[in-house]
Amino acid sequence: MGTRRRDFLAAGVAAGAGLALPLAVSAQATGELTHLRIGFQKSAVNLVIVKQQGALEKRYPNAKVQWIEFPAGPQLLEALSVGALEFGLTGDSPPVFAQAAGKDLLYVGAEPSKPLSSAILVQQDSKLRTLAELKGKRVGLQKGSSAHYLLVRALEKGVLQWGDITPIYLAPAEARAAFEKGAIDAWAIWDPFYAATELSIKPRTLTTGVGLSGNNSFYLASRPFTEKHPQVLNALFEELTRADAYVQNNRKEAAQLIADFSGLSLATVHLFISRRPRSPVGPISPQIVADQQRVADAFHKLELIPRPVKVAEIVWQPKTAQVAQK
């Protein structure tokens, strides 16, 4: 074999080795996404649609995507803070409690407010008719959830102090059982648990979040994941916004997907998505930060969190170049 022939083949081997480099070195070294663990709840409509349609698995075929369901936001954020998740969705209160407890996580995106999607319920035959009449009553709620802030605001409207009620801290399933047995006088809850209860036992709604709580939904991520994979976050938001458009334009099919996953009745799903506005995923705006700071300040004023927090300190500030990556 001539010298030039040998040189040509050697160059070809070198080029081939160069093309194979991403496969030869560790995925971590190249920044390739190898796994993504997503925490979600039954109320996370956009995430459920993305999951059921397999959108992320199609977009990242070489990554292991895991979906882990939680009963409420506080449990989800605890998992996120200890490295058991990379990404998840909660309501407004869980991130405040997590930040106050020193958990290392970041607000990375948000959906529009959903004030109709949470409520304080009483039994149909309850004598309670006004928020002021909650004084001295036992109110069930998930501690640190969006329903927690709704109850705080409802008491303010009823000219009551937090100490005027007896909060009974229960996860949604346990709270519903206590509500049905009469072990609690009222229940602060969110969809789809709210919708399921409405249809099955027909309680009265003492108040919704309208005028009290925006019931904002936040996407949060671990700091290492956010710093390493900002382009994956952008892809997630694209898929979540696409999922929202699908829900808005294909209610029947979307409801069936959600029912198939959740085990909820179609009637329940149709009810709770009917009061859910268009919910594309966007960045954390200054207005959203201000709204969330009010949530944090309210909890600190009542000494329900151990220290004051500045929400803006844990809001992701993506670089322009990162946002542009697709």
Same domain, 67 and 102: yes
Residue 66 reports pLDDT greater than 60: yes
Residue 20 in any domain: the answer is no
Domain boundary among 208, 237, 256: 208
Domain boundary among 190, 208, 226: 208
Q: Are residues 73 and 165 in the same domain?
A: no
- φ, ψ of residue 167 in degrees (nearest 5): -75, 135
Using alpha carbons, list the distances in angstroms from residue 95 to 92, 103, 276, 279.
7, 9, 21, 20
Question: pLDDT category, 31, cuts 50, 70, 90?
Answer: low
CA distance 325 to 64: 21
**What pLDDT score does 42 carry?**
86
Do residue 54 and residue 170 come from a single domain? no
What is the residue range of 199's domain?
A: 116-208
| pLDDT tens-digit map of 189-210 | 999 999 999 999 999 999 999 9
Residue 14 is predicted with a pLDDT of 35
Tell me what the mean pLDDT of segment 217-237 comes to: 95
User: Is 83 inside a domain boundary?
Assistant: yes
Q: Is residue 24 part of a domain?
A: no
Same-domain status, 91 and 168: no
Q: What is the pLDDT of residues 93-130, one digit of tens each?
A: 999 999 999 999 999 999 999 999 999 999 999 999 99
Tell me: do 47 and 126 sit in the same domain. no
Q: Does 23 have pLDDT greater than 50?
A: no
Residue 190 and residue 164 share a domain: yes
Do 184 and 66 lie in a common domain?
no
Domains in the chain, number: 2
214: pLDDT strictly greater than 90: no
Of 158, 173, 208, the residue at which a domain comes to its end is 208
Tell me the C-alpha distance between 136 and 133, whole Å.
8
* Distance in angstroms (rounded) separating the CA atoms of residues 82 and 11: 48
Looking up residue 145, the CATH number of its domain turns out to be 3.40.190.10
Whether 255 and 298 share a structural domain: yes
> What gap in Å lies between CA 166 and CA 135, rounded to an integer?
9
Whether residue 305 is found in the same domain as residue 177: no
Strand pairing class (64-69; 35-40): parallel
Q: What is the mean pLDDT of the chain?
A: 88
Question: Is 245 domain-assigned?
Answer: yes
| 261: in domain | yes
Amino acid residing at 180 = E
List, for residues 34-46, the tens digit of each pLDDT value.
Answer: 999 999 988 899 9
Residue 301 has what pLDDT? 93
| Separation between Cα atoms, residue 155 and residue 162, nearest integer Å | 7
Same domain for 307 and 165: no
